[in-house]
Amino acid sequence: MTALQFTLGIPLLAAVLLALTGQRPWAATLNLWAAGAGFISSAWLAWGVLERGPLGGGASQFYIDSFNVYLIALTAFVGATTALFSRPYMAQEEHSGRLSAKRLRLYHASYQGFLFTLQLALSTNNLGVLWVAMEGATLATVLLVSLYRTPEAIEAAWKYFIICGVGIALALFGTVLVYFAAAQVIPDPEQALLWSELARHRAELEPVVMAIAFVFLLVGYGTKVGLVPMHTWLPDAHSEGPTPMSAVLSGLLLNVALYAVVRMKILTDGALAAHPGVHDPHLPGYLMMGFGLLSFLVAGLFLHRQRDIKRLFSYSSIEHMGLMTFAFGLGGPLATFAGLLHMTVHSLTKSAIFITVGHASHIAGSQGMEQIRGLIRTQPVVGWGLLIGTATIAGFPPFGVFVSEFLLLSATMAAQPWLTLPLLAGLAVAFAGLFRHVQPMVYGDLPEGQQAVQANMWPVAIQLALVLWLGLAIPAFLAQWFDQATLLISGEGLL
């Protein structure tokens, strides 16, 4: 458990230290080193699980298996690379007068607190603690969204807090229903919310109660995933908060919320499959497919109407989260593998894109796409980063996003061929929406007032290189994780 203790303890300790001493000049360096140390400990944890199998379970409050361990490592990695970008970016924000030293203190403490709540949500074995951790992530995000204290930022933070507050309340009611169903079959009430115990008794859970619970949990946690029609907080939060927050919000928080939904689907599938005459055993999958496809298509259309560059890519996040939700709802080994791969490549690509967007906004002095022009001439490394990142997220081969989307299309053609056409249409609409806006930002006429800035593009290069690698050849250890997670999600690899 030592690696897990470090993975959780480092961001928690860093958050406390930064809250107490965050106005010191070395606060940004401490934030970076803490994020880097967190990634090293998470890699240590992942290697141990790969070598020795699941960690915890039973009566333990923590449980690490092949599904969440790679998400823990991915969360720590994106947190570390974003912290590397954050250090010079936030210093420039302070230099420009947008942030005071006191606000930077709040930013650094909230950043580490945000990472801690995500890692806690991923590693806990207790569904109640999962809910608490998701609420903690909500509160940390509210502080980050409202960091600039402009009227627009305050409005976006309140909108996020109210909408996600309602969502998390629905998730709480769903968790209570799961406890009610578990209390009938698990004698020890202290273990009735432990996922490992629920998974062992999933066939004995009352199917009607579990079906109702899943609806509440899907809508509740789906609000944080950004599923349509509960998505309206996400574009505002992205556009008004600091850019490093957008990178971790899009690349990490949405993944963790979807992880919670999939965990609940595993339990509900087991309960319904054991009582096929009570409810359609495919009900959870159909609900996820419906919400996912709706989100995918609506977000693709809204890409065409955006004028703010951060709102543009926030709708791209909604689109891709819809695609992942659809994949896990479709089920089957191929679609599930595609969903897991897409979670990985989307996180890496989208955080890289938001880092590039932050530099582009500094160059133009605005987030309005009408003011961002000619990046390829103003600062070629930023222009190329935006162009390659957009091509990657749009599904160009040979990047990993293309591979995951191709696998999902193949699975859809085999299982639900009539849904292949709307998927292809949605991909085409999203592709057109992205390049309609990105092409003039990269190649358009250079307006007055743009100037070069000191751009730290190393995180972008590292993350896009990894996405390219995953498109060309998935490493054996990662493929093994995905295979084991696919078996677990399908119910075959459970305890």
Among the residues of 124-251, which ranges form H helices? 127-145, 151-183, 195-200, 207-225, 233-240, 243-248
Neighbours of 152 (CB within 10 A): 11
- DSSP bridge pairs for 246: none
Along the 495 residues of the chain, how does pLDDT read in single tens digits?
588 999 999 999 999 999 988 667 788 899 999 999 999 999 999 988 888 888 887 678 899 988 999 899 999 999 999 999 998 888 888 888 888 888 899 999 999 999 999 999 999 999 999 999 999 998 999 999 999 988 999 999 999 999 999 999 999 999 999 999 999 898 888 889 999 899 988 889 999 999 999 999 999 999 999 999 998 899 998 888 898 998 988 888 999 999 999 999 999 999 998 777 666 778 999 999 999 999 999 999 999 999 999 999 999 999 999 999 999 999 889 999 999 999 999 999 999 999 999 989 888 888 889 889 888 888 899 999 999 999 999 999 999 999 999 999 999 999 999 999 999 999 999 999 999 999 999 998 777 666 667 778 899 999 999 999 999 999 888 888 899 899 888 766 555
Amino acid identity of residue 108, one-letter, is H
Report the SS3 class of residue 55.
strand
165: tokens are 């507050």
d(CA 381, CA 366): 19
Contacts of 99 (CB under 8 A, 6+ apart): 90, 93, 107, 147, 148
Element (H, E) at 372: none
